[in-house]
Amino acid sequence: MGDTNNRTFDVIVIGSGMSGGWAAKEFTEKGLKTLVLERGRDVKHLKDYPTTNMMPWEFEHRGQVPFKITEANPVASKCYVFREDAMHFVVKDAEHPYVQEKPFDWIRGYQVGGKSLLWARQTQRWSDFDFEGPARDNFAVDWPIRYKDIAPWYSHVEKFVGISGNKDGLPNLPDGEFLPALDMSCIETHFKEVVAKNYKDRNVIYARCAHLTEPAQIHLDQGRGKCQKRNLCQRGCPFGGYFSSNSSTIPWAERTGNLTLRPFSVVQSIIYDDKKEKVTGVRVIDSQTKEVIEYSAKVIFVNAAALNSNLILLNSTSSRFPNGLGNDSGVLGKYFAFHNYRARISAKYDGLKDSKTDGRSPTSAYLPRFRNLHKQETDFLRGYAAGFGGGRGFVTNTDGFGNTLKDQLASKELGDWYLGSHMMGETIPKETNAITLDKTKKDEWGIPLLNMNIAYDDNDEKMIKDFFEQMTEMYTTAGYTDIKTSDSKQAPGLDIHEMGGCRMGNDPKTSMLNKWNQMHACKNVFVTDGACMTSTSTQNPSLTYMALTARAADYAIEQMKKMEL
């Protein structure tokens, strides 16, 4: 665990989740004494997964959440993992309040490992269509990197994490370092074949996922085993079959002897020394004792998850930076973006009667973005990806009474295939989508509450309309019936893909970070979680966070060797 009485380290990493775990791994492997600060409790792999092997009947409420708990958590209870088996990994509404100028559902995991215990494990690379998007389409600012800059770091991360996938050869979704893919279901294969036959510009593929289908030696060295397809991932996997900080990067870092992990550590601010003209450390409030402690380091990595990273930076003021650390540009907290998950479509299929749903899979089919790739062809900017999956259940006849009804209930007959898709739309970063510190309200540690002013716009509405039109056409072409579209109208945030506020860019006047995720105005601070993102693309973002973190850590290490940091 390291010595928390020692107050001086080479590196301090704020946050132990997806990106923070990677920062810890990279620095400790290179011999640097690293302190990882986590505001929540410690969660040890295997030891602290209380529900992981429980049977359905062992839960008091059979997995359901009691009404009183749901009523007390109007935000957290909207999350798909807020169930009896995993809600202990989700922050309850009263534990860290925030101000909603506009509706925003902030889903958080305050524990060692963060939301890496809870993520959906989808892992797609970005392409130059994504990195070049802002410059080409004239929104946000130009990314300071391109695919070639991050490609080797995607490979570096994928080999260690373990990604199941196929080599699909798509320019808009580059191939990676893959473990063998699982089979697609027959309904997914059917849709793939229909789309391939009728659309030259669209591809349905196996959705790449962070699951060990055939563990390599590097995964066995981590103590991880093959995915058992239990589909209980949110409980914490006793096999280490999916990637989490808890089963992978944190234990790996601990084995080096260079890691000090301090849970229950709420970061109040990052300390800037006006005389030295650099950051010297981090101010922490012990969440249990309320003691204020300061730790020193040469380099600080901010990985508290997008919103909390922005909060920490906004709250880190000094005479040099009165509006937040490194905020010479004035863009800190602004140009916030997310993924639009509101649109869904469902249908039935009367074919494939010789097949049924059997077994489980941790992933499904995936339709990469096809809109506005090579040219602007719609009345909205950018595009969307879509998930696709389905199954076949039993139909029960509930007509009649007495013995007739009993016989009918006991008789199970397979029904039609049911299937559905959901949209993952790219939202456009806007200055008006911003987060600020509340001027009067504070949390129990005396830190200002976050004030959310984030909303959808006309571009999002047009994108939803196009998704419905295009997916309805594809479903109809596939012979699907009873096609229904729905708009959940859910608030931003429930996608749990918050990005921006501390964006990368070439120009210090319009961005916070350079091409190495290094602050333009404060060279020994790096931000590599979702806060750093200049735009959102349509892909699930965690793989990109991890790759950016590994890349930035490598650069920081080289700069430290040269005595530049």
pLDDT above 80 for 355? yes
**Residue type for position 15:** G
Same domain, 347 and 309: no
**Which amino acid is located at 531 in the chain?**
A
**What pLDDT does 35 receive?**
98
Query: Which among 223, 224, 200, 202 is positioned nearest to 212, based on CA atoms?
Result: 224
Under a CB-based contact definition with an 8 Å cutoff, are residues 46 and 334 in contact? Answer: no
Q: Calculate mean pLDDT across residues 259-268.
A: 98
CA angle 293, 299, 301 (to 5 degrees): 80
pLDDT at 2: 58
pLDDT(82) > 90: yes
Report the chain's C-alpha Rg in angstroms: 24
Quick one: 118 and 145 in the same domain? yes
Structure confidence at residue 30 (pLDDT): 98
On whether the CB atoms of residues 209 and 164 are closer than 8 A, the answer is: yes
pLDDT in tens, 303-345: 999 999 999 999 999 999 999 999 999 999 999 999 999 999 9
Cα–Cα distance, 210 to 354 (Å, whole number): 31
Cα(38)–Cα(48) distance, integer angstroms: 16
Kindly report, residue by residue over 277-290, the tens digit of the pLDDT.
Answer: 999 999 999 999 99
- Claim to verify: residue 66 and residue 201 sit in the same structural domain: no
Q: Indicate whether 313 and 378 sit together in one domain.
A: no
Last residue of some domain: 471, 491, 511? 491
- Local confidence band at 388 (pLDDT 50, 70, 90 cut-offs): very high
Residues 98, 33 share a domain: yes
What average pLDDT score do residues 116-134 get? 97
Residue 1 predicted with pLDDT over 60? no
- Alpha-helix runs per DSSP H in 73-115: none
Report the relative pairing of strands 278-286 and 292-302 from DSSP bridges. antiparallel
Q: Residue 4: its pLDDT value, please?
A: 58
Over residues 219-245, mean pLDDT: 97
Report percent pLDDT > 90 for the chain. 94
- How confident is the model over 158-185, as a mean pLDDT? 97
Total of domains in the chain = 2
pTM of the model: 0.97
- As a whole number, mean pLDDT of residues 450-467 equals 98
Starting from the edge strand earliest in sequence, which strands make up the sheet with 434-442, in order?
Answer: 99-100, 448-453, 434-442
380 contacts 529 by C-beta, under 8 angstroms: no
Instruction: Assess contact for 134 and 473: CB atoms under 8 A.
Output: no
The pair of structure tokens assigned to 57 is 């009947």
User: Last residue of some domain: 464, 491, 518?
Assistant: 491
8 A C-beta contact, residue 85 and residue 59: yes
Determine the average pLDDT of the residues in 146-174.
Answer: 98
- The answer to whether residue 401 scores a pLDDT higher than 90 is no
Angle at 551 between CA 547 and CA 554, to 5 degrees: 140
Residues 183 and 317 in one domain: no
DSSP 8-class letter at 394: E
Residue 340's CB: how many other CB atoms inside 10 A? 25
Nearest by Cα to 370 from 195, 178, 165? 195
When pLDDT is averaged across residues 408-428 and rounded to a whole number, the result is 92
| Rounded Cα–Cα distance for residues 341 and 424 (Å) | 5
Task: Identify the H or E element spanning 130.
Answer: helix 128-131
Specify the higher pLDDT residue, 420 or 5: 420
SS3 category, 500: strand
In which band, very low, low, confident or very high, does the pLDDT at 394 lie, cut at 50, 70 and 90? confident
Show the domain range for 110.
1-165+210-338+428-454+495-565
The domain spanning residue 144 has which CATH number?
3.50.50.60
Q: What is the pLDDT of residues 181-225, one digit of tens each?
A: 999 999 999 999 999 999 999 999 999 999 999 999 999 999 999
* Claim to verify: residue 485 and residue 547 sit in the same structural domain: no
436, β-bridge pairs: 451
CB atoms within 10 A of CB 184: 22
**Token digits of residue 501:** 């506020």
As a whole number of Å, the end-to-end CA separation of the chain is: 26
pLDDT attached to residue 3: 67
- At residue 512, the pLDDT reads 98
| Count of C-beta atoms within a 10 Å radius of residue 221 | 12
Long-range Cβ pairs for the range 440-446 (8 Å, 24+): 441/97, 441/99, 443/96, 443/97, 445/266, 445/268, 445/285, 445/287, 445/290, 446/268, 446/285
User: Do 238 and 328 have their domain in common?
Assistant: yes
Q: How confident is the model at residue 139 (pLDDT cuts 50, 70, 90)?
A: very high
Query: Which amino acid is present at 427?
Result: T
Residue 160 sits in the same domain as residue 258? yes
Angle at 159 between CA 364 and CA 535, to 5 degrees: 65
Single-letter residue type at 195: V
What is the pLDDT, as a whole number, of residue 421?
A: 98
Centre a 10 Å sphere on the Cβ of residue 484 and count the other Cβ atoms it contains.
Answer: 12
pLDDT band at 430 (very low <50, low <70, confident <90, very high): very high
Residue 476 has pLDDT above 60, yes or no: yes
Please check whether residues 558 and 487 belong to one and the same domain: no
Lowest mean pLDDT among 1-15, 161-175, 270-284, 298-312: 1-15
Burial class (CB in 10 A: 0-12, 13-18, 19+), 289: exposed
Residue 16 CA to chain centroid, in angstroms? 14
Shared-domain flag, residues 297 and 435: yes
Q: Give the three-class secondary structure for 347.
A: strand
Q: Within this chain, do residues 409 and 476 fall inside the same structural domain, yes or no?
A: yes
